Amino acid sequence: MDRRKFLKSSALLSGLLSFSPSDLWSSQKGTKQSAGKAKNIIFMISDGMSTGTLSMADLYSRNILGKGSNWLNLYHERKVSRALMDTASASSIVTDSAAASSAFGGGIRVKNGVLNIGANGEKHLPVWQKFKKAGRKAGCVTSVTITHATPAGFCINSERRNAEPQIAEMYAELELDVLMGGGDEFFNPEKRKDKKDLYSVYQKKGYQVLKERTDLANIKKGNKLLGIFNTGALPYSIDRVHLSEFKNTPALAEMTKAAIDQMKEHPDGFVLQVEAGKVDWAAHANDISALIHDQLAFDETIKTVMDFAEKDGNTLVIITTDHGNANPGTIYGGSATNNFNSISEYKYTNEYVLNTIHKEFSAKDIKDWIYEAHKLTLNDEEAKHMMSFYNGLEKEEGLYNYKKLPFKLYSEIQKSRNSVGWISMDHSGDYVEVAAYGPGSELLKPFIKNTDLHELMLTASLV
């Protein structure tokens, strides 16, 4: 072999190997990276999104809707930096949402169940407070209660993630600029145990209170916003579309656009957290129609955010999840494609379907209702097994299963028809996806810890 050719080739190979994977990714044709300071930050979280959830939403979008998902299209078009993230908390390799959000918000790993408070009681200043002190506007938008763990982790310190009535009061003291989601029971004097009227408290501080979807069209410029659109969490996306009682509840993308529009003209910029919280709840229930459609609602919100960020040019967008949940996925088989596509026949969530059944239902009533709702034909044994839960013979536990509904049983029945399986009904410790766009996205390394995103935001914006 020619020695000069060999040395030339070796030098070329050595040069290539000197690049990190992130350097190679960033240099690919089509990648849009922006160095410099980020004026705005939009941090997007699909809570409890396992990789299988991301995959199935894209598969459903391509097979049924005829287009790829917006998240995966960012990868195809090489517009983003991409990483895998370790989601562990201080107390476990499997985190809860409070500790996960504290990793992003406080920059430290805390025990599950607490918000931005360390092992010795030390309070770590949440990131949205840091940005408020630096002159930015700050807000949170979610499909669950606005006082829930994920938005709270960016904003406050608390020993208990479940102290939602108190968290609602803390938000008022901080005077965050936009708060939108559910949770009327934490603001309404008729529903709070202490009878405090937090709506009045917020109004006295200059907030415009929004209660319905139509209110989004009548937002006054310059106002701080408190949008509380439901008691408890907002409805699942597929139920919001098909059930008339939810027609005046806004979609996540609509709330997000309103939040951006309200803050985007601030000369010092803004920071916004956007959470698809019901993706996590759907995974806890092994509810496939709820899961896919809420992930797709999050995906539509990605488009809303990216449309703004690409035009603006000064906005860092981070898209990720806080942890996996239930690790759903499609199962091999000759009919796997057709089985999976049959999910498009589902009109409602499993939650709505199972809540509709009551103990007076006969086996035939159950079979008729399941066919009407999901186009599934149950056999007599399956129908009788479901009846046993409503007759008090069997019970099923679960984090958001207050009524002891047979979520697991029904998901197993569906599995034999739709080829979707689940490993559990709870969080998992698997590594998760992160995508970043705009100024500061070049700082994202190929493998990170959840706390690294806290530092990335501060470094990207020079706060």
Residues acting as catalytic residues: 97
**Both tokens assigned to 19:** 């690049």
In terms of C-beta density within 10 A (0-12 exposed, 13-18 middle, 19 or more buried), how is residue 28 classed?
exposed
Instruction: Extract the tokens encoding 42.
Output: 């939009």
Cα 356 to Cα 294: distance, rounded to the nearest angstrom: 21
358 is in an annotated binding site: no
Question: Is the separation of the CB atoms in 124 and 116 below 8 Å?
Answer: yes
**Alpha carbons 324 and 70: distance in angstroms, whole number:** 20
What phi and psi, each to the nearest 5 degrees, are found at residue 350?
-60, -35
Which pair of tokens denotes residue 370?
């399941």
**Residue 415 and residue 424 in contact, taking contact as beta carbons nearer than 8 Å:** no
Judge whether 380 is annotated as a binding position: no
Decide if 432 contacts 450 (C-beta within 8 A): no
| 374 labeled binding residue | no
What string of DSSP letters covers 2-56? Answer: -HHHHHHHHHHHHHHHTS-HHHHHHTSTT--EE-S--SEEEEEE-TT--HHHHHH
**Is 323 annotated as a binding-site member?**
yes
Q: Is 150 annotated as a binding residue?
A: yes
d(CA 407, CA 40): 41
**DSSP conformation class of 287:** -
Alpha carbon distances (Å) from 69 to 65, 73, 295, 303: 10, 6, 10, 10
Lookup: tokens for 133: 């002190």
In this structure, what DSSP letter does residue 163 have?
-
In the numeric block, the tokens 């000197």 are attached to: 18
427 annotated ligand-binding residue: yes
Token readout for 223 is: 């106002």
**Cβ contact 430:51 at 8 Å:** yes
Residue 351 corresponds to which tokens in the numbers above? Answer: 């939650």
CA–CA separation, 428 vs 409, rounded Å? 21
345 among annotated binding-site residues: no
3-state DSSP assignment of residue 144: strand
Instruction: Tell me the two tokens of residue 138.
Output: 């700050």
- C-beta atoms surrounding 21 within 10 Å: 12
Annotated binding-site residues read 47, 148, 150, 275, 280, 284, 322-323, 427
Annotated binding-site residues for Zn(2+) read 47, 280, 284, 322-323, 427
Annotated binding-site residues for Mg(2+) read 47, 148, 150, 275
